[in-house]
Amino acid sequence: MPQPDENRFRHRDLNWLSFNERVLQEAEDKMNPLYERIKFLAIYSSNLDEYFRVRVSQLRQMKRVKKSIRKKLALRPSKITKKIIEEVKFQQEKFGEIYKKQIIPELAAHKIHLIDSEEFDDSQRHFVAAYFQKKVLNHLQPKLLDLEKENELFLENAVLYFFVTFQNDNKLGVVNIPVNDCGRFVTLKNQGQQHFITFLDEIVRYKLQDLFPEEKITGIFEIKLSRDAELYIHDIYEGELAEKIYDSLQQRTKGQPTRLLYDADMPEKAKKKIRDLLQLGKIDMMPGGKYHNFKDFFAFPDPTENKELHFQKFPPIPHKNLEYSKDYFKTISEKDRALHFPYMSFDYVENFLEQAVNDENVTDIKISLYRVADKSRLTSSLLKALENKKNVTVFVEAKARFDEENNIIWGRKFEEKGANVIYSYPKVKVHSKIMLIKRIENGNSINYSYIGTGNFNSETSEIYCDHAIFTANQKIAKELLRLFKVLEGELIIPREKNLLISPFSTRQEFSKLIYNEIENARAGKTAGITAKMNSLEDLEIIELLYKASEAGVKIRLLVRGFTCLIPGIKGMSENIYITSVVDSFLEHGRIYIFENDGDEKIFYGSADWMSRNLDRRIEVISPVLDKDIAQEFKELLNIQLQDNVKARIQDASEDNKYVQRENGEKAIRSQYEIYKYLKEKHTS
């Protein structure tokens, strides 16, 4: 695909780095408690690992295309990769400064000391030696390489290793650091009120000479290799796709290298040796700090159990209608009911399904699963539904990246119990978050629907901000039922009038809605577009937004991740204003509001304005038909648009400036204000 005009569109991979910089800003923000700042370092690191495994690996694949073809298509993977490397190096330096100059001293101020092997005292050295012998040694796989002979060195994806140099230049050592077996952090014995913690790395480092008794060690450097995460499956249209995906998962451990992260103190001579051994190019080499895999800091221990070092935990808000309902079907049939996670508990979804499973009048349960929790009440209920002789249809997305194995395992369990399980289709992912319950009432078949913006996953529902609606609206249910028939292969097109379903109607309907605002603006009518999403990438939609801006439509966007749209450019996008909120919860919901000359149309659902969501995924965007819920969605979105604590301005400069408060202006931290708003609304 040709690269878009740089003057009109940002490159998605470069702007994604701007998003990850906002995560890094949260690690630097002293308004956040210390352990939450540590978690933001972990999030930043985890994000960057996936980015190199997915996005950077795709750029590398482009480089395999013949140069003449790349030139015709205006593909410039090398240029983009170089820009990525430059920006990542800059961010990594900032990361190191935050960690060394802020986090470590502040931990020490709270009597928590993260020490290395050179700081061990006599009692700690005695403890570490015993711990190494008992807990660590059996998990080590030291390799001694003789460079005068032919060597094969394979490094597993994302596994930490020590690269060891010796006085004998013809010898090298490589040792794994067994984090998966032993954990990353080891708590040493306390000394009074002082707490001491060390990396597993330092325990291995301390005893490393024992592993190479015949050699004199001159250097020890930590390294980590990231590998291409793509599953290259041949003949996707033949045979069982899910089985092929499952069988190909091992590719991830053997995929093409995309980045070698190494200790920046490694000398040039040693770098050249590791490059030659792994057959890497200079662009594959990324300098880092003494330690890698900072995602392990998600599990960094707090021996003080000091609540002030963590975010305040907010108890889930009880839904005023569902909390005490003994009959969800009756409560939902009276009126649509909205849920907002993580402010409310995912229990309501699981309670609804459990009631359906145990209701003798329920005949059918249909659900789409994109990321399945390892174990949950929801999956247990689906298994019980099969025991209770319900007709259960489960669509399992076998191509949900990094969740393929778990999803397929659960799909097999459902199949074994008698469910109608449908797996992925070639070239299309099912990303919608939908459930349909068919119930016999007074001799009639009544359908109850659930449409959400987030996965059916009780674990992620505690940290992802999402929205969902239960409804007994039969028009919505009829269209949802037709979509399930498409998934089951009974229909080709769902023929929807209310729902926007990708890849069938979402692009066309969104385009019509934007054009309607353009026409209203030109006619002097009320016109405006307000939208919240994770990412904005589709060039056709962006061009329409530019056209709307030029027509005078005021466009207010809230984009958490990356955006290819360049706002605030005179004559192109001067009427478009974008902010991004990064805070303690991950903003994940999608809401779209069109002024429509005073008769607002509000939608929500699973799709961003990205080409993949519009053209290559099964997505469901639903109108918000209940007036009270529509008002609630609007007020929630308005709170986020007013954020002046955790919102950053996304403009042409891409410098992630925080929204500034005027003198005396109230501080609005939207996630906290939303909690207050919902609590007042549901407990009044």
As a dihedral over the C-alpha atoms of residue 294, residue 40, residue 300, residue 191, rounded to 10 degrees, the angle is 110
Confirm or deny that 617 is annotated as ligand binding: no
Active site residue 431: yes
Instruction: Please state, in angstroms and rounded to a whole number, the distance separating the CA atoms of residues 13 and 54.
Output: 11
Coil, strand or helix at 422: strand
Instruction: Please state, in angstroms and rounded to a whole number, the distance separating the CA atoms of residues 189 and 556.
Output: 54
Do 528 and 600 form a contact (C-beta atoms < 8 A)?
A: no
> Which structure tokens are listed for 573?
């996008």
Confirm or deny that 47 is annotated as ligand binding: yes
> Which structure tokens are listed for 677?
């708003």
What are phi and psi for residue 348, nearest 5 degrees? -65, -35
Do 632 and 338 form a contact (C-beta atoms < 8 A)?
A: yes
CA 224 to chain centre: 22
Do 11 and 539 form a contact (C-beta atoms < 8 A)?
A: no
Closest listed residue to residue 560, CA positions, set 455, 647, 634: 647
**In a 10 Å sphere around its CB, with 0-12 CB exposed, 13-18 middle and 19+ buried, how is residue 228 labelled?**
buried
Q: Which one of 234, 431, 467, 682 is the catalytic residue? A: 431
Confirm or deny that 64 is annotated as ligand binding: no
Count the helix, strand and coil residues of the chain and give each as a percent rounded to the nearest 5.
40, 25, 35
As a dihedral over the C-alpha atoms of residue 461, residue 429, residue 449, residue 389, rounded to 10 degrees, the angle is -100
Confirm or deny that 371 is annotated as ligand binding: yes
Task: Report CA-CA distances (Å) from 369 to 29, 381, 404, 452.
Answer: 36, 14, 11, 12
Instruction: Please state, in angstroms and rounded to a whole number, the distance separating the CA atoms of residues 225 and 156.
Output: 7
Confirm or deny that 8 is annotated as ligand binding: no
Coil, strand or helix at 145: strand
Cis, bond preceding 257 (omega within 30 deg of 0)? no
Confirm or deny that 12 is annotated as ligand binding: no
Instruction: Please state, in angstroms and rounded to a whole number, the distance separating the CA atoms of residues 479 and 497.
Output: 8
Instruction: Please state, in angstroms and rounded to a whole number, the distance separating the CA atoms of residues 230 and 519.
Output: 43
DSSP per residue, 313-327? PPPPPPPTTTTT-S-
As a dihedral over the C-alpha atoms of residue 622, residue 625, residue 626, residue 630, rounded to 10 degrees, the angle is 70
Residues making up the annotated binding site for ATP are 47, 464, 560, 588
Query: What amino acid positions are annotated as catalytic residues?
Result: 431
Residues making up the annotated binding site for Mg(2+) are 371, 401
